[in-house]
Each structure stands twice: as structure tokens, then as C-alpha cells.
């Protein structure tokens, strides 16, 4: 008998909603001008990243104490910087007080103390394995650089069971999207921000489809199922490709453009957004048609938290995702999805996949010429 994962989905939605409200409160308090610390890999991390990861793990660990976690952040910087730790703890405390006024029957569990907060964050930040058992993979703020400017970002959570995605929930607190409007007509943009509201949250369970809901301060709106198979297949000339900020990625964007040109597409890139998970959201909402990831070299890797969750959203909405060898993406590899196991990635609708795949192979073949 298949598992419905109803309790996991319900809690994941509440946890992502809570973390999304927290991150949005940071933006509004600081008027979209958020400062950041620098991690060892030179990427930025903010108080919202730390606090959101603590909230997510606290809520999940209280209900599923045997589950494990894998998150982007560790508490090392907090243990070494008392001032930073105090700011994160203050944010969690303020969220505790605001959460107490919510309408939930039973409030989500929150960190009990500063040290408890450190330990919860480290439950995710110190973990390495995703191949066995139940593992919640999370990126508390995907797109920190654009989050700091008040643009698009995502709060990401995914349950893996023995390395397979079962539940995915992605909160998009800044995404201005009409949940009841027509699919496939809105173009996602960094600056098309839901200033007054709290954006939307998308969710999917394996075999059960993808849904989108509006997020409000205290509640979630009614769900709407997303079925991309009901949309007409776009002509090749009009294909919309989603890309990272041009020139700011380790991927081979010149070859991405060459693939688009070989297909006859005339508007590359059609959608530009920094957050990787927002690219999956754009695909799942029908806002873009194709995502290609061509690494410059085969030894490149990508982080599992940049893909787990968003990946299942697009698949359950009707999309197809494979690497350049026609293989499914392996989420059992731990913190990194390696080029050795999964070289490259193509995400598009099944009706377009073979054409995009062949165009990509043709472009890659030029490397050896």
C-alpha cells in the first residue's frame, strides 16, 4: 500500500509558511536592504538563513524525531560570533511572539534556547548522507543574494526516503502570482514582487500532483492543482528558456544560447532569475518552457538543496527532467549531485524533451571538434 505522506505534507506546509513569514519580516523591517556574512565558499548568508533553518528543523524534529536533516547552513559562524548569534536568536524570539497570535490549533515547536537553536541548525548543517531512511533536505533561503535586495528567493524543503523525493514544498514569499489566473501566461521576474502580501507556496507529493496556494500572514489559501499537460505545446521559435543572471554562473551559458538558437528560439534568455529553486517554480507554473544546465567541465557538482523539492514540483506538474545521459537525477549522493553521476540537466515538457535533448547533444559534440 502506497504511503500518502499526508502528515508530512501538512507539517511541511506549515513549517515553510512559518519560515517564509519570518524571512519576509526581515525584509520589511530592514526595508529590503539586508546585510550578510560571508561563508567559506564566499557566498552570502544572512540572519534569515540561520533563523529559517532553525525553525524548519525544530518543527519537523518535534513531530518526526527519528528523521534526519540536511541543510545548507551550520551554526559554526554563530558559535564564533556572539553578536551574530544574538541577532539570529532575537529574530527567532520575535517570531515566537508573533506566532503565538496565530490561529493554529497547535503551535509549531520552536527552539527553546540559543544553544538549542545552534544544535538544531547543526542537525542539518553537519549531515552528509541522503541515501538511507527519511531525510529532510532544506535550503532556508535559496537566492540569498537576491533576497538581500528584496527580489525573488525561495524557502525550500523536501523529504527524501531512501534517496527518493516523496514530498516537496517551496515557499516563494516575494512571488506575485495570481493563484486563480491562467497558467502559462505570467512571466516570473526578479522585480515582480508581492510587496503587500506573502507570495505563494507550491507543494507536491510523489504520484499526487503539484499544488499552489497563496500565503497569508496567518493562513494558507485554498490549493489549486497545476496540470501543465493541459497547456498547448509552444512552438520552438517561441520557447522561453530560464537562466541564471547572465555572466554570474559556473554553467556554460554560451552553450545554453547555442541550444536555443539551434532549436530556432528567438528570445534567449526569456526568463532570468538567480535562485535555482525559482527556476523549478517557473517551470512548474508554466511561466517558462526549458531549463538547461550545461556545466563547463564534468568535474563540476551542484548542491542537493538547490534541486530537491523544486525538482518534484515540476515532475508532478507534468514535466520531465533527466541528465545528458538520459538518467534520472540521483538524490542519494549526499550533499552534492556530481557530474560523474549526473552530468548536466534538461527540464522541459515531455513533448519537447527529445528535441531539446538532441539540440543539446549537438552543441556538446562541438566541444570535440
* Active site residues per annotation: 49, 144
Q: Does 330 appear as a known binding residue?
A: no
Cβ neighbourhood burial of 129 (10 Å; 0-12, 13-18, 19+): middle
C-alpha 261, offset from chain centre: 28
Q: CA–CA separation, 336 vs 125, rounded Å? A: 13
Q: CA–CA separation, 356 vs 320, rounded Å? A: 11
Residue-wise burial string across 330-358, b where 16 or more C-beta atoms lie within 10 A, e elsewhere: bbbbbbebebeebbbbbbbbeebbebbbe
Residue 229: count of CB within 10 angstroms of its CB: 11
The answer to whether the CB of 305 falls within 8 A of the CB of 141 is no
Q: CA–CA separation, 233 vs 106, rounded Å? A: 45
SS3 content of the chain, % helix, strand, coil (to 5): 35, 20, 45
C-alpha 146, offset from chain centre: 14
The candidate with the shortest Cα–Cα distance to 187, out of 198, 196, 178, 197, is 178
Question: How does DSSP classify residue 194?
Answer: -
Q: Does 132 appear as a known binding residue?
A: no
The residues that bridge with 159 in the sheet, in sequence order, are 136, 167
Q: Is 361 helix (H, G, I), strand (E, B) or coil?
A: helix
Q: Does 139 appear as a known binding residue?
A: yes
The helix (H) or strand (E) run that includes residue 212 is: strand 210-214
- Could you check whether the bond before residue 110 is cis, i.e. omega within 30 degrees of 0? no
The candidate with the shortest Cα–Cα distance to 276, out of 250, 238, 237, 239, is 250
Q: Does 104 appear as a known binding residue?
A: no
Q: Is 61 helix (H, G, I), strand (E, B) or coil?
A: helix
Backbone φ, ψ for residue 111 (5° rounding): -55, 140
Among all chains, which residue has been given the C-alpha cell 544553544? 115
The residues that bridge with 167 in the sheet, in sequence order, are 159, 205
Residue stretches of the annotated binding site for Mg(2+): 72, 139, 142, 306
Residue stretches of the annotated binding site: 72, 139, 142, 306
Amino acid at each position: 500500500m502506497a504511503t500518502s505522506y499526508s502528515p508530512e505534507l501538512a507539517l511541511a506546509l506549515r513549517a515553510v509558511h512559518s519560515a517564509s513569514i519570518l524571512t519576509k519580516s526581515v525584509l520589511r523591517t530592514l526595508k529590503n536592504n539586508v546585510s550578510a556574512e560571508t561563508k567559506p565558499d564566499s557566498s552570502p548568508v544572512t540572519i534569515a538563513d540561520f533563523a529559517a533553518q532553525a525553525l524548519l528543523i525544530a518543527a519537523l524534529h518535534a513531530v518526526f524525531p527519528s528523521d534526519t536533516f540536511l541543510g545548507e547552513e551550520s551554526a559554526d559562524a554563530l558559535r564564533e560570533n556572539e553578536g551574530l548569534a544574538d541577532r539570529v536568536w532575537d529574530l527567532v524570539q520575535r517570531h515566537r511572539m508573533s506566532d503565538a497570535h496565530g490561529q493554529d490549533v497547535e503551535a509549531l515547536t520552536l527552539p527553546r534556547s540559543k544553544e538549542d537553536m545552534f544544535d538544531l541548525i547543526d542537525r542539518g548543517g553537519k549531515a552528509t548522507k541522503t541515501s538511507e531512511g527519511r531525510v529532510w533536505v532544506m535550503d532556508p533561503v535559496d537566492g540569498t543574494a537576491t533576497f538581500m535586495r528584496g527580489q525573488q528567493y525561495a524557502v525550500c524543503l523536501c523529504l527524501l526516503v531512501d534517496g527518493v523525493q516523496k514530498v516537496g514544498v517551496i515557499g516563494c514569499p516575494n512571488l506575485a502570482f495570481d493563484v486563480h489566473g491562467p497558467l502559462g501566461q505570467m512571466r516570473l521576474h526578479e522585480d515582480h514582487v508581492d510587496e503587500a502580501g506573502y507570495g505563494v507556496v507550491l507543494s507536491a507529493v510523489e504520484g499526487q500532483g503539484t499544488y499552489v496556494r497563496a500565503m497569508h500572514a496567518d493562513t494558507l489559501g485554498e490549493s489549486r492543482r497545476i496540470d501543465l499537460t493541459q497547456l498547448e505545446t509552444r512552438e520552438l521559435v517561441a520557447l522561453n528558456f530560464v537562466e541564471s543572471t547572465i555572466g554570474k554562473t559556473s554553467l556554460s551559458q554560451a552553450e545554453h544560447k547555442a541550444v536555443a538558437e539551434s532549436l530556432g528560439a528567438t528570445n534567449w534568455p526569456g526568463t532570468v532569475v538567480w535562485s535555482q529553486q525559482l527556476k523549478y517554480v517557473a517551470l512548474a507554473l508554466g511561466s517558462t518552457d526549458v531549463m538547461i544546465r550545461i556545466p563547463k567541465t564534468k568535474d563540476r557538482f551542484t548542491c542537493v538543496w538547490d534541486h530537491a523539492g523544486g525538482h518534484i514540483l515540476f515532475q508532478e506538474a507534468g514535466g520531465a527532467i533527466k541528465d545528458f545521459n538520459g538518467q534520472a537525477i540521483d538524490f542519494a549522493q549526499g550533499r552534492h549531485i556530481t557530474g560523474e553521476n549526473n552530468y548536466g540537466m534538461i527540464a522541459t515538457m515531455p513533448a519537447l524533451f527529445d528535441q531539446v535533448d538532441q539540440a543539446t547533444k549537438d552543441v556538446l559534440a562541438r566541444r570535440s571538434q
